[in-house]
Structure 1
């Protein structure tokens, strides 16, 4: 897979409401069964487009992104008080708290390696949950990253199961896949 990060110079595109066509807020929150006392990590949080919605549903959100510039843009936009920005890669998971859930929206293709998936599994508390939504390799490629940089739902399931995440739902859709699971 070809890994990349989203260009901060184009960050305004991350705030486009048409993104809800691919993953709605309700669907995202249902993927990891958001609960008011949850401590959650949002992997590849960017400018906080979806993070804001997660923050409204849980106690604390660690907004993990490899680009400090994305955190600066998020702060300028207005970061909720219960969001903690963390700069780093998923494979190092630089979050000390044990997490009730890990969520990723349209960024799985940017971090999915065996090391990163192991870090996700290790960061979860017992009964911890995951919710992933990303561009599918089985899509047309008319939106999002090139098909060569994407995973299918089946590939994401394999990566999760390899680290002990039990997948309870995974499906490819028109351009995206969704996956929910737990430790």
Structure 2
């Protein structure tokens, strides 16, 4: 590879690292071309899967500000899934493909400014998608608001019920609303 080609490849990888929301590093040894094509199709819009040269990727990762933990994973034949969409969906796609094709090995990744090992990437894949999590949050917030509205509505209702119960109790006892006024008039001296 000529020096200009290497510089262009490094610049392209650096741009991919900086513009991606994450990168998952894999080992693809033993996968056929058809399986690689299937993997790219599986990832779809969530990630771009590319075979990379380790030395150029290390340089690009350094230029992009990635830490040494990620760069230490660059050994053996490496391919990177540069995540463009939902990180969880991309991790799920890689995990599911790796289950069906054991030749694909997830080495680790770099997601939202943090290096992750293979186990952490798999845990990330176990999460629900962003849309589902947001829907659950919205449901919980709506439930809280409904509870608050019911509580605020209950206070005047309870006060009205208490006043009605007090009025009914006075009626049972034979008191009327005018009874205290009549008693006061009876006690007053006649002129």
Question: What's the TM-score once normalised by structure 2's chain length?
Answer: 0.25
Higher relative contact order (CA 8 A, sep 6+): 2
Q: Is the strand fraction higher in 1 or 2? A: 1
Question: What's the TM-score once normalised by structure 1's chain length?
Answer: 0.26
Structure ID, larger Rg:
2
Q: Is the helix fraction higher in 1 or 2? A: 2
